[in-house]
Structure 1
Amino acid sequence: MLFTYPIAATTNNWVSSTIIEILRTALAALQSGVQPPDFHNAVPQIYKVEFQRGRKFSDLYSAFIDACRPLDPNQQELVLTALFDQNRFPEIFDASTRCPGIALILPAVHQAAQNLFAYAFEKLSDLRTPGSTETVRARYHQLVHAHIESGCCPFCGLEIIEAPDPDLVDPDLDHYLAASKYPFAGANLRNLTAMGTTCNRSYKGAQDILLDDVNQRVDCMDPYGEEHVSLSLEGTALLPGGGSGPSWVINFDPDMKSRNWRRIFKMEKRLRLNLLERQYQTWLSHCISYAAAHNIDLSEREGALEAVRKFKNTCKYETFPTVARLKTSFFELIEAALANAESADKVHNFLVEAA
C-alpha cells in the first residue's frame, strides 16, 4: 500500500468486540452444557440502547447458537479458534500466523456467522457510539479522510475517495479479509478499509489477501500499520531504440511483502498502461513549457539540465500521490542521464526534438 490508515479510526470498534465477546461466552456455555445467555441480556449496559436498534441481532445470534448446539466439543473448539484467529490483528498479516476458515468443515456455522456479522457491518451505518451524534461508520470515514494522503485511495493512489458529507455517497468500505471466508472479522474496523470504487469492485472483490495465486499463506501489508510502499523507476531505459518509448521498470519497496497487494490490484500493469505509457509525453511537454515560461534555453545541455532539475521539484505537488512519485522518478532518470557523459547527448537531443 502506498500509505496507510490511522489506527485512531478503529477506536469505536465496540460493535464487533461486543458481539465477539458474546459469542465466546455462548460457546463456553455450550461446552459446559448450559444454556447460552439471551443476546440482549448479554450486551453490556452502555451499549444496550444501541443494540436494541438492531432488530435482527437477537434472531441472527439465536441462529448461530442453533448451528453450534449440535456440534461435539472438538467442533465447538474449532469455532472458538476461528472466532479468535480471524480477529488477531495485526499478527494475522504474518504468514506464520494461522487464520482458519470453517466454511468447508462447518458450513452451517459459517453461514450463520456470515449472516450475523454481515448485519453487524450493515448496522455500522446506523449505530452510534454512546455520547456521539455520529454513526460508527460516519466517524470512521471522518478520521480516515482527514488522514489519508490527498484524500486518495491508499491501494492505488489514483482515485479520490468521497469526502464524508451527508450529500455525498459513502466510499466503499472493503473487507480486507474477505467476509465470505473470514466472517468473524466482518464488522471489525481493523479489517475494514475505505477504498476507491475501481480498486474494490474491479480488482479486490472477495479475493483472499492472505493467500498468493497458488493459495499459499504470504506476508501481507497491514493497512493500519506504519510500513508504506515506495515507488521508483530505477532501471528504466529511457531511449531503448527502435523508435519506441521508455522500457519501463517499476520498483516497489518492500518487494516481497507488497507482492500480493500488487498481484490482486494489478498495480504494475495499471501503472504502466494507465499512467506511464499514457502520460510520459505529456510530462515532457509540461517540462518544456516550464522551461519556456522561465526563460530557460533547452538548446544547451546545461539549460536542459537546469530545466529538468527545477521542474522535477514541482512534481511532488501533483494531487495524486502515485503520479507525484512516478513523475518525480521519471525526471530523476532524465536528470541523471543528462548529467552522464555517455547518455547526455542522446537524451538532450531527444528533449530538443520534443520541444
Structure 2
Amino acid sequence: MLFTYPIAATADNWVSTTLLELLKNAVEYLQNAQEPDGFQESVPEEYQAEFARGTKFPDLYAAFVDQCRLLNDQQRDLVLKALAGQNGFPGLFAANTPCPNITVTLQAVNQATRSLFEYAFGKLSDLKTPGSVDTVRARYHQLVHSHIASGCCPFCGLEILEAPDPDLVDPDLDHYLAISKYPFAGANLRNLTAMGTTCNRSYKGAKDILLNELNQKVDCIDPYGDQLITISLAGTVLLPGGGQGPAWVLSFDPDALSQNWRRIFKLETRLQANVLEKQYQTWLESCVKYAQKNGIDISLKEGAIEAVRKFRDTCEYETFPAIARLKTNFFELVEAELNDPQDGDRMHNFVAAVQAA
C-alpha cells in the first residue's frame, strides 16, 4: 500500500458483528440439538429498527439456518471455523495463519452465507448507526476521504477517489477478501476498501489477495495497518546507449510483503507503461522550461545541475503520490549522473538536447 486506511472508518461495524453473532449462535444451537430463534427476535434491541428496514434479512438468515440444519456436527464445526477465521483481522494476513473457506466442502452453506452478506453489504448504503444522520457507508466514505490527503486510490496512487458529495458517485467499495470465497467477511468494514474503479474492476476483481499465483498463502498487506510500501528507481540506467530509452528498474520495499499486491494490481507494468515511459520526456521538457523561467542557463553543466536539483524539489507536490515519488526519484538519478565524473558530460548533452528540441 502506498498509504493506508484509517481504522476509525471501521468503527460502525455493527451490521457485520451482529450478523456474525446471530449465525454463530444459530449454529451452536443446532450443535446442541436446539432450534435457533428467528432473526428479528435475535437482533439486539438497539439495532432492531434498522435491521427491520432490510426486509430480506429474515428469509436469508432462515436459509442459512436451514442449510446448517442438514449438516452433521463435524460439518457445523467447519462452518464455525470459517466464520471466525474469515473475520480474524489482522492475523489472517500472515502466511502461517489459515483463513478457512467452505466453497468446495459446503457449497450450499457457502452460497447461503454469500447471499446474506451480499444483501447486508448492499444495505450499508441504507442502514444508519443509531443516533447518526448518515448511513454506514456514507460515514465510512467521509472518514476515508478526510484521512487520505491526496484523495487517491491507495493501491495505485494514480486514480482520484470521488469525494463524498451527493452529486458524485461513491468510489467502489472493494471486498479485499473476495466475498465469493470468504462470504462471512462480506459486510465487515475491516474487509472493505474504497478503491479506484480501474484497480477494482480491471485488476482486483474477485482475485484472492491471500494467495500467490501458485495458490499458496503468503503474507499480505493489511490495508488498515501501518505498513507502507516505498518505490524506487534504483538500478535504472537512464542512457543505456544505442538510441534506447531508459532501462527502467522498479523496486519495492519491503519486497516480499508487496509481491502479491503488485502482481494482482499489475503495478510494475502500469507504473512503467503509464507513467515512466509515457511521461519522462515531458518531465525533462518541464524542467527545461522551469530553468528558462527562472533564468538558469542549462547550456552549462553547472546550470543544468542547479535546474534539475531545484525542479526535483517541486516534484513531491504532484497530486498523484505514485507519480510524485517516481518523478522525484527520476530527477535524483539525472542529478547523480550529471555529477558523475565519467558520465556527467553525456547526461548534460542529453538534457541540453531537450532544450534545443
Normalised to the residue count of structure 1, the TM-score between the two structures is 0.99
* Distance in structure 2 (CA, Å) of the matches to 1:160 and 1:311: 24
Aligned-pair distance for 1:301?
Answer: 1.0
Aligned-pair distance for 1:273?
Answer: 0.5
- Map of 1:139 onto structure 2: 139
- Map of 1:317 onto structure 2: 317
Runs of 4+ displaced beyond 4 Å: none
* Distance in structure 1 (CA, Å) of the matches to 2:328 and 2:98: 40
Q: What SS class does the counterpart of residue 290 from structure 1 fall into?
A: helix
- Map of 1:4 onto structure 2: 4
1:204-249 CA-partner distances (Å, limit 9, x unpaired): 0000000000100000110001011111111000100111110000
Q: What SS class does the counterpart of residue 193 from structure 1 fall into?
A: strand
- Map of 1:34 onto structure 2: 34
- Map of 1:333 onto structure 2: 333
- Map of 2:218 onto structure 1: 218
Q: What SS class does the counterpart of residue 314 from structure 1 fall into?
A: helix
* Distance in structure 1 (CA, Å) of the matches to 2:350 and 2:129: 61
* 1:205 and 2:205 are equivalent in the alignment: yes
1:44-101 CA-partner distances (Å, limit 9, x unpaired): 1111100000000000000000000011100000000000000000001101110111
- Map of 1:47 onto structure 2: 47
- Map of 2:299 onto structure 1: 299
* Distance in structure 2 (CA, Å) of the matches to 1:21 and 1:338: 64
1:16-43 CA-partner distances (Å, limit 9, x unpaired): 0000011111111000000101111111
- Map of 1:177 onto structure 2: 177
For 1:85, the aligned partner's letter is G
* Distance in structure 1 (CA, Å) of the matches to 2:89 and 2:342: 52
* Distance in structure 1 (CA, Å) of the matches to 2:211 and 2:343: 43
1:127-159 CA-partner distances (Å, limit 9, x unpaired): 000000000000000000111141000000000
Unaligned runs of 5+ in 2: none
* Distance in structure 2 (CA, Å) of the matches to 1:186 and 1:242: 53
For 1:187, the aligned partner's letter is A
- Map of 1:95 onto structure 2: 95
- Map of 1:165 onto structure 2: 165
* Distance in structure 2 (CA, Å) of the matches to 1:173 and 1:270: 22
- Map of 1:251 onto structure 2: 251
Q: What SS class does the counterpart of residue 112 from structure 1 fall into?
A: helix
For 1:157, the aligned partner's letter is G
For 2:332, the aligned partner's letter is E
* Distance in structure 2 (CA, Å) of the matches to 1:343 and 1:328: 20
Aligned-pair distance for 1:167?
Answer: 1.1
For 1:10, the aligned partner's letter is T
Is 1:149–1:321's contact at 8 Å kept on the other side of the alignment?
A: no
1:172-212 CA-partner distances (Å, limit 9, x unpaired): 00000000000000000000000000000000000000000
* Distance in structure 1 (CA, Å) of the matches to 2:294 and 2:167: 43
* Distance in structure 1 (CA, Å) of the matches to 2:263 and 2:219: 13
* Distance in structure 1 (CA, Å) of the matches to 2:30 and 2:153: 44
* Distance in structure 1 (CA, Å) of the matches to 2:166 and 2:128: 16
- Map of 1:116 onto structure 2: 116
CA RMSD of aligned residues (A): 0.6
* Distance in structure 1 (CA, Å) of the matches to 2:344 and 2:250: 23
Is 1:3–1:149's contact at 8 Å kept on the other side of the alignment?
A: no
Q: What SS class does the counterpart of residue 313 from structure 1 fall into?
A: helix
* Distance in structure 2 (CA, Å) of the matches to 1:39 and 1:107: 23
Unaligned runs of 5+ in 1: none
* 1:273 and 2:306 are equivalent in the alignment: no
* Percent of residue pairs bearing the same amino acid type: 65
* Distance in structure 2 (CA, Å) of the matches to 1:215 and 1:80: 23
Normalised to the residue count of structure 2, the TM-score between the two structures is 0.99
* Distance in structure 2 (CA, Å) of the matches to 1:18 and 1:276: 47
* Distance in structure 2 (CA, Å) of the matches to 1:266 and 1:224: 21
* Distance in structure 2 (CA, Å) of the matches to 1:349 and 1:166: 53
* Distance in structure 1 (CA, Å) of the matches to 2:344 and 2:40: 74
Aligned-pair distance for 1:102?
Answer: 0.3
Note the 1:224-263 alignment, pairs <5 A: 224-263=224-263
* Distance in structure 1 (CA, Å) of the matches to 2:95 and 2:65: 31
